[in-house]
Structure 1
């Protein structure tokens, strides 16, 4: 172990004596890991490392601080650069992370200013790499506090200042300037909490304090509602799943008794949808740990599926399924409103690598479908190479398949969610709070999803 890690461990033992310090230490470690190493899942890793040292309230605070920092990282960097005579300390990610998490608390969270500043200074003093910079941390964060109103009034452009340049350029090219800006603005709003409810969504909406979206999902009016305490959770009446993520399984239209393969199935929301429809589901994923979560979810819901830990590419059951759902591994840029760290951990090179894998998985999925059977391919990506271009190439090399277009009725009349080819394309700026017929909730929007429904010709 490094000296700094030993020092951090020693500090962890005394964090409990200072309210909120352990949560801030965990958030700082997560942001430092992302800035220093570009580490994906940095927040989950930091929370796991903190383990039992955080009670539920502290864990929630750590998550809130890290998420707020990731969500506005570009804007925070601008704010800090304007207030540091030597510019941003790019070569000191732990310092930059401490300044960013402190600023995020001051500008974006309902925490006391003195706690945000003083505890950041305390963390600096306790870190061998940062102790000599505690005065700088104090001075910069106090200036941010003094100038908060002016900073908030100035705002900042979500696309130009808060989106990596390579992503902003991609979205401009794919969707045009106006939609690209709407996407970036939606990311700053964060995500709602949606529930998938197999039966009587309208009645359950009233019971859980939500609104029926018309897409078959219920959106909670309160994004901070304790989900596990809501009516119906313990009985397995519903599960948490973004409204856009629930659409691909609905497009598959599973029928009772059909044999359906759910490829790359974990964590299991789509498996649950198919099983709830009465299908005989084979849920396949390479990750045993993620499939353990799927099994637990199915158990709570009172549903069953055949669960296989396997590489989907290795399945040897050609023509054995009535339908196949492939939710392929992707860059996940459609989930930035929910997982803002994605914007800062992915690279353009990832897209080409993942597109190659998607191509191979799509070919395998097609082979598994019987004549006359259906295939739904989907990704939670905004990038055309992982969606539209992938399906166009597939249809070009697989003349035995044809597209089955999505209709407006299948997406509650939201025709903007259907592209010119008849495929599903949801965007973070779709379903805003002002959508006609949708009652007001605290947050609008959807995850960015692409889905194409295909059929093997008989």
Structure 2
């Protein structure tokens, strides 16, 4: 029986057991089915019946397990002389979740071990290995400092080999190591505001970034913060807010936001006074976009369609945030590193090319086309634009100037495109430093 089938709480559960049970179930399902951690947690959480504090603990355990999965797996494998036992049911995900607590979270060792043992007893297949699991976890607790020191000496320990090779080839080994290390840190939380960024930074005890985004120091619940209910701002990574700066929307301009959900860039465009058409093929995701715009008091025409074939009167500007491997978001979504592959990247590359071709047909003469992805892979960014320009000689690149993005010249490559890397943008603390890996290029139609 998969661990996901054991996630529900029962009245006789020991304190803390339902949260750990859910965390192990999420780890198990994400690794087996190669699905999103957030989507899996959202689907399993209602039936788990957890209080908010336990739900937060389950999420923290699961995210930490994926953020440091390479270290955890290496530490466990080194201490299993014969490898993980076969036909052991949820043995591996339970130990992975427990190891995440022992090595990286502020959880008493005895609590992590004792509850993991209870979990192992719940399935006949893993119950046969209770003694092995108990010994292994207690050994990890004793040898924690050695495990962490060994991992610190190897920045690529928590990075799949194909990604380490890709980043080293694209940016050099030193930069690739810095990317890998930055992904070990808790991510910052940024917001975009409709107006008065300096005022809201002060009200929310945030840092006003050079690009105009606000980075929150607080870990308080987003919905409890001033201005959320009033629709004054929305959550959006600072790097993800840059492509709209390249559009430079003017009031009244007709602008299409392609692959728009969940709507952060749509909100930016609408807040600037543009007449926005937000297009996505996913009706459920557009429903979320519509709800976000309603909270913000902003409007856009919402269209459910396939952007590769959709036709409309040409726009003043088109923004295409294409589906991608999302490797630039690994710091916030560490499961991406373990659920995506080179094959996924290449498959998505073909879709990106078709979307670019479709977007080109929607740009009027003299109009702007901004292509962007939240990927660190050049195949999904720089290479796509070069291939597009070869196919479409009626377009040319419009290089980005540093003053357009807060004088952050470090985020502009030799071609004049935006290429943000996670170690950029130093801040007050490691948590308040860095941003997502993003690529954006501005193209003008002749």
Q: Which digits, 9 at most, give the CA deviation of each residue in 1:206-238, with x for residues without a partner? A: 11111101111000113x221111111111110
Indicate conservation of the 8 Å contact 1:36/1:93, yes or no.
Answer: no
Structure 2 residue aligned with 1:116: 112
Offset of residue 160 of structure 1 = 3.0
Offset of residue 304 of structure 1 = 0.6
Structure 1 residues without counterparts, runs of 5 or longer: 434-438
CA distance in 2, matches of 1:270, 1:89: 48
Matched, 1:99 2:95: yes
Offset of residue 198 of structure 1 = 2.6
Which of residues 265, 268, 272 is equivalent to 2:267?
272
Aligned length: 445
Which of residues 217, 233, 241 is equivalent to 2:236?
241
CA distance in 1, matches of 2:135, 2:3: 28
Matches within 5 A, 1:330-341: 330-341=324-335
Offset of residue 190 of structure 1 = 2.7
Structure 1 residue aligned with 2:387: 393
Give the stretch that moved more between structures: 443-452 or 45-54: 45-54
In the superposition, the TM-score normalised over structure 2's length comes to: 0.96
Q: Partner of 2:8: helix, strand, or coil? A: helix
RMSD: 1.8
Structure 2 residue aligned with 1:174: 170
Matched, 1:65 2:61: yes
In the superposition, the TM-score normalised over structure 1's length comes to: 0.93
Which of residues 292, 312, 323 is equivalent to 1:297?
292
Indicate conservation of the 8 Å contact 2:90/2:120, yes or no.
Answer: no
CA distance in 2, matches of 1:292, 1:359: 26
Q: Which digits, 9 at most, give the CA deviation of each residue in 1:102-121, with x for residues without a partner? A: 01101111112111111111
CA distance in 1, matches of 2:368, 2:213: 23
Structure 1 residue aligned with 2:397: 403
Offset of residue 7 of structure 1 = 10
CA distance in 2, matches of 1:48, 1:428: 29
Structure 2 residue aligned with 1:183: 179
CA distance in 1, matches of 2:288, 2:302: 11
CA distance in 2, matches of 1:196, 1:78: 39
Q: Partner of 2:369: helix, strand, or coil? A: strand
Structure 1 residue aligned with 2:364: 370
Give the stretch that moved more between structures: 189-198 or 444-453: 189-198
CA distance in 1, matches of 2:3, 2:378: 46
Offset of residue 55 of structure 1 = 2.1
Structure 1 residue aligned with 2:132: 136
Offset of residue 43 of structure 1 = 4.7
CA distance in 2, matches of 1:72, 1:289: 32
Q: Which digits, 9 at most, give the CA deviation of each residue in 1:239-279, with x for residues without a partner? A: 00000001111211111101111000000000000000001
- CA, structure 1 residues 65+316, in 2 after alignment: closer, same or farther (shift >3 Å)? same
- CA, structure 1 residues 158+15, in 2 after alignment: closer, same or farther (shift >3 Å)? farther
Give the stretch that moved more between structures: 295-304 or 15-24: 15-24
Offset of residue 156 of structure 1 = 3.5
Q: Partner of 2:436: helix, strand, or coil? A: coil
Matched, 1:74 2:70: yes
Structure 2 residue aligned with 1:446: 435
